[in-house]
Structure 1
Amino acid sequence: MSTQLTDTAYVITDAPEPGRTPTLRAVIALLARDLVVLRRQPGNFIARTIVQPLMLMFALGYVAPIISVGPGAAARATQAATVLLAGMLAMVVLFQGLFSVAMPLMQEFGVTHEIDDRVLSPIPVAAVAIAKVLAGAIQGLLAVVVAFPLARLVTAAPPQLHINWPVLLTLAPLAAVMCSALGLYLSTALDPRSVTAMMAVLLTPLLYLGCTLYPWSALGPIRWVQLLSLANPVTYVSEGFRAAVTTSDHLNLAAIYLALILGTTVLLYQGIRHFRRRVTS
């Protein structure tokens, strides 16, 4: 502890203590602050987690099978619920990654300028960006915990569950970090004046060409769409959850993990690079 005399007042500053890791402590503090905000304002989190994904499950997993007639209707209902469950988990992780990272960053850059206070802290600018991504990933994992049991109650027939715990416990955090890194990248790389419109345009192909409503193998008759979907990061999130919690066909696990690791690395690197450029310009 040291005391410095100025013309007007005494200013007390904390001298750094040996062995401490101020960057790590600062990142933890930033994470804690975001989680406190989440606890005090749960409405946005609940809306992102429940409304759209569960409405999709209700329409396609409950209404459609019930109004379906003919032989095999019960089996089709079970199959639909099984396929949609993995897609819905991918949706909630994507929504949390985009809207818990991208939207607050847009506000902090353009309206509140709260980001200025964060980057003025004595830690690397990259650590501020990483804290944002980790906070979004935690919200994505919480969304999976909330949405998973609710989805089982909405569908007309119970999905065929087969939980592979090693895959689920490793893939879910990786998918959450990748989707949050995607939110960081989009909010910092796109023109601030058009980022909302661009995200609205991008969200549709990300969701509906990301194998959320069908397994990747079902696209076999449309080969060009099947190949195109491999360029969509959400495909690997959907197929990964399909492998983790259901009995449906899915992509090879090695390909899923490789794509998620590469996607996370590229998006995080590019997101941090654009974030640094935005805060220093």
Structure 2
Amino acid sequence: MTPNPWRVFWGLLEHDLLITRKQLGGVLAQVLMQPLLMLLVFGKVLGALGYTPPGYARLLLPGLVALNAFFAAAQNASFPLAMEFATRTIENRLRAPVPLGWIVVERIFAAASRGLVTAVLMVPVGALVLGDLSWRTAGIPAAFGYTALGALAGGAVGTTIGSLVAPARIGITFSLVMPPLLFTGSAQFPFPELDAVPWFRALCALNPMTYVSEGLRGALTPRIAHLPAWLCVTGLAVALLVFTPASLWTFRRRAIT
């Protein structure tokens, strides 16, 4: 009898979530440090010195939550996957009695779960640093939806990179690709206010993280300039429609070589 693909999918996902739980301390230390320092320096220290405008930390924190959702998922998809291909331990997963697409989607969901956890944990860290979030509580469900979509998009991007790049080059590739994504993801500034630099605005529009940052600002801090909700959802949907098939193509190409 052919196993139910859903049961196999959930079995693989439960295995990866168990590993995530065991490694949670290291994962959090790895992915929370940079956003925490950015919030502390740009949100508190420079504000106290008068170099950033009042309320800048309130603008910055939703962007850092978006950064954690997207980058933690991308990082935790790309590096382990590259190592599994290098050591051929991926073959254990390829023997699962499901089509290859199920394995790829499971990896995206597993990576997204890490991104979602680190994004959610950024909220109490931000509250501890800033003291008062002043968020619109009615927007929390929508904010959670944007965060989940951003984590899935990051997982798809990371799976594409992890199955495309050779293990010896994954570190340098990540260091070359991720900083531009970080600084064009509208985490530190509102996208609608980039009219003065149209070339940079165009770069930010191509970055899926922009739509997570803007969606979170619209849901939690609506008084700050932000993109409309429909455009944020559309941008994230397009990212998933592009990178999910791309991750499947690169994974299949790598798996059969």
Alignment TM-score > 0.5, same fold: yes
Deviation digits for residues 63-108 of structure 1, max 9, x if unmatched? 1111228xxx8xx33x211111111111111221112111110111
Distance 2:98 2:256 in 1: 14
Task: Name the SS of the counterpart of 2:83 in structure 1.
Answer: helix
- Equivalent position of 1:101 in the other structure: 77
Specify which of 249, 270, 274 is matched with residue 225 of structure 2: 249
Task: Name the SS of the counterpart of 2:76 in structure 1.
Answer: helix
Task: Name the SS of the counterpart of 1:194 in structure 2.
Answer: helix
Superposed CA RMSD: 1.8
The offset of 1:191, in angstroms, is 4.1
TM-score (norm 1): 0.85
- Retained in 1: the 8 A contact 2:69–2:150? yes
Q: 2:59 is matched by which residue type in structure 1?
A: V
Specify which of 111, 117, 135 is matched with residue 110 of structure 2: 135
- Retained in 2: the 8 A contact 1:219–1:225? yes
**Is 1:234–2:216 an aligned residue pair?**
no
Distance 1:35 1:44 in 2: 14
- Retained in 2: the 8 A contact 1:220–1:226? yes
The structure that has the greater radius of gyration is 1
- Equivalent position of 2:36 in the other structure: 54
- Equivalent position of 1:66 in the other structure: 48
The offset of 1:190, in angstroms, is 3.0
The offset of 1:42, in angstroms, is 1.9
- Equivalent position of 1:169 in the other structure: 144
The offset of 1:166, in angstroms, is 4.2
Distance 1:194 1:262, change over 3 A: same
The offset of 1:173, in angstroms, is 1.6
Q: 1:60 is matched by which residue type in structure 2?
A: F
Give 1:268-279 correspondences, 5 Å limit.
Answer: 268-279=244-255
The offset of 1:266, in angstroms, is 1.0
The offset of 1:262, in angstroms, is 1.1
Distance 1:59 1:271 in 2: 36
Q: 1:265 is matched by which residue type in structure 2?
A: L
Distance 1:48 1:260 in 2: 25
Specify which of 134, 142, 145 is matched with residue 160 of structure 1: 134
Q: 1:38 is matched by which residue type in structure 2?
A: T
Distance 1:228 1:128 in 2: 32
Unaligned runs of 5+ in 2: none
The offset of 1:211, in angstroms, is 0.7
Unaligned runs of 5+ in 1: 1-15
Specify which of 200, 204, 217 is matched with residue 192 of structure 2: 217
Deviation digits for residues 151-203 of structure 1, max 9, x if unmatched? 12213x63431241342232222111111101011112234442321211111
- Retained in 1: the 8 A contact 2:82–2:165? no
Identity %: 27
